[in-house]
Amino acid sequence: MTKLLASVQNLPEAEIVFENGADIIDVGGPAIAMSGSVESGPLPEIINFVAGRRPVCADASHLPMQADVMRRKVGEFVAAGVEYIRVGLRPGENLLAVIEAIKPFTSKVKLVAVMFAEEQSRYPKSFLDDLVAAGFHAAMIDTENTLGERLLNHLSPDQIGQFFKLVQSKGLLAGAAGSLEAPDIPRLLSYRPDMLGFCAALRTDLYWAAPMDGPAAAKIRGLIPKGAVRTVAPLADGSEPGLGTDKIFVRDFVLPVEIGAYSFEHGKTQKMRFDVTAEVVRVARNAEQLRHVVSYDLIMDGIRAIIARGHVELSETLAEQIAAFILENPRVLKVVVRAEKLELGPGGVGVEIERRRGETGGWGAFH
C-alpha cells in the first residue's frame, strides 16, 4: 500500500496528523538541529505520544555529508526509539564513506535514503546497489531546496514513476517528496509508490513554516486511501454507490512523436493529435473534492509517458498502450483513444480504439 508520510516539527503538529490518519510521522525541524541534543527537541515527546500506534521517522535529510556527523546523529535517533530515519545522501567524494558509516544501524532501524532531484545526474550508477548491500530499507526522491521547490519542476510524473520502478526492482521500497500538492497525488499513485511525503500541503497557505491545518491533512489523507495497494482506490470513503458514470476527455492534444514503420519515419518526430475520452465511476452527487474526480492529467501523463519511451512502429500500438495506462486507474471503466498522424495526408490519418477494463494487458506490460 502507499503510505502517507507527514512531516511535523512539534507535538501539536504530530497530534493533528495522527488524528487525520498519517501512516508515518516524520519529525524534522529542531529535532535535527546540529546544536543541542535529540533529547532536548520534540522527538521524545512525539514518540511518547504516538506510543507505538504509528511509526515515527526522524528526518536527517539535511545533515552535512560528513561520516562522523552522520554516524553520531543517526545513532542518537536510533537510541531515541524511532522506526525510520530519512538520511539525505548527496553525490560526491564522501558518499560511500557516509553509507559505510551508518551501515551498522540498518539492523536496528529502517533507513530511507533521500536522493535529491537537483543532483540526479551525479549519482553513481551503482548507488542503489550500494544501498542494498548496506541494508537500506527504502529510497525516496526529494528536492534539496525546501523553500517551495517542487519535485515536479525537476522530473515529470513518468520520470518519477521510472524511479519508483527501478528502486523497487532492487528490492527497496520507493517514495517521493518535494512540495507535493494534492493534485499531484493521483498522478503519482498511477506509478504505485510505497510512500509519498508531505509538508507544506498539510499546512495553511501551502507554506512549510505555516501552522498545521487539520482539513488540509484530511484532504491529503483522503486522496491516499488506506489499504490501497499502491494504486488509486475505486471508491473513496463516504462515496455514494450506484451513481453511474461520468466522462473526462482531452481534445486536440498535439505532440511530436517518434513513430512509423517506414525507414524514412525513423530517427525523427512527426506531429500527432490525440483525442481521448475515459468513462469513470461517479462517486459523489456533487463533486466538490479532488478525491471525487479522476483528473484529465491522468490522460496527458499517460500519453507523455509512452511517447517518452522512444520509437513506436504503429499508431495502433501507441493507442493500445495509452488505453492500458489509463485503465490502470480502477475507476476508469472504458476509454476511447484516437491517435492521428498530421503530416502524412491532407488531413489526419490514424486509428481510434475503444477498450474496457479487463481487455488490455495492463500498463505494467509496457514498463
Is 212 part of a structural domain of the chain? Answer: yes
Q: Are residues 172 and 59 in the same domain?
A: yes
Domain that holds residue 58: 3-223
Low-confidence ranges of the chain (pLDDT < 70): 29-36, 146-148, 227-242, 285-290, 359-367
Using CA atoms, how far apart are residues 230 and 23, in angstroms rounded to an integer?
14
- Chain centroid to Cα 60, Å, comes to 20
3 state SS of 120? helix
Task: State the CATH number of the domain containing residue 294.
Answer: 3.30.1130.10
Per-residue pLDDT tens over the stretch 124-162 = 999 999 999 999 999 999 998 766 679 999 999 989 999
133/166 same-domain check: yes
Same domain, 213 and 290: no
In 14-161, at which residue ranges do the beta strands (DSSP E only) sit? Answer: 24-27, 56-60, 84-88, 110-116, 138-142
Output the pLDDT for position 234.
46
Residue 239 lies in a domain: no
Residues 255 and 205 in one domain: no
Residues 89, 96: Cα–Cα separation, whole Å: 9
Contacts of 52 (CB under 8 A, 6+ apart): none
Residues 273 and 203 in one domain: no
Q: What is the grid cell recorded at 279?
A: 468513462
What pLDDT, on a 0 to 100 scale, did the predictor assign at position 367? Answer: 34
Residues 28 and 161 in one domain: yes
* Percent with pLDDT over 70 in the chain: 88
Measure the CA–CA gap between 175 and 144, rounded to whole angstroms: 15
241 burial type by CB count under 10 A (0-12 exposed, 13-18 middle, 19+ buried): exposed
Q: Can you tell me the distance from the alpha carbon of 304 to that of 324, in angstroms, rounded to the nearest whole number?
A: 14
Domain count, the chain: 2
For residue 200, the domain's CATH number is 3.20.20.70
Report how far apart, in Å, the C-alpha atoms of 149 and of each of 28, 203, 266 are: 18, 16, 38
The answer on 204 and 64 residing in a single domain is yes
Specify the pLDDT at position 240.
60
End-to-end CA distance of the chain: 20
Assess whether 136 and 15 both reside in one domain: yes
Contact 328, 359 (CB under 8 A): no
Q: Please choose, from the candidates 184, 170, 163, 81, the residue with its C-alpha nearest in 3D space to the C-alpha of residue 133.
A: 170
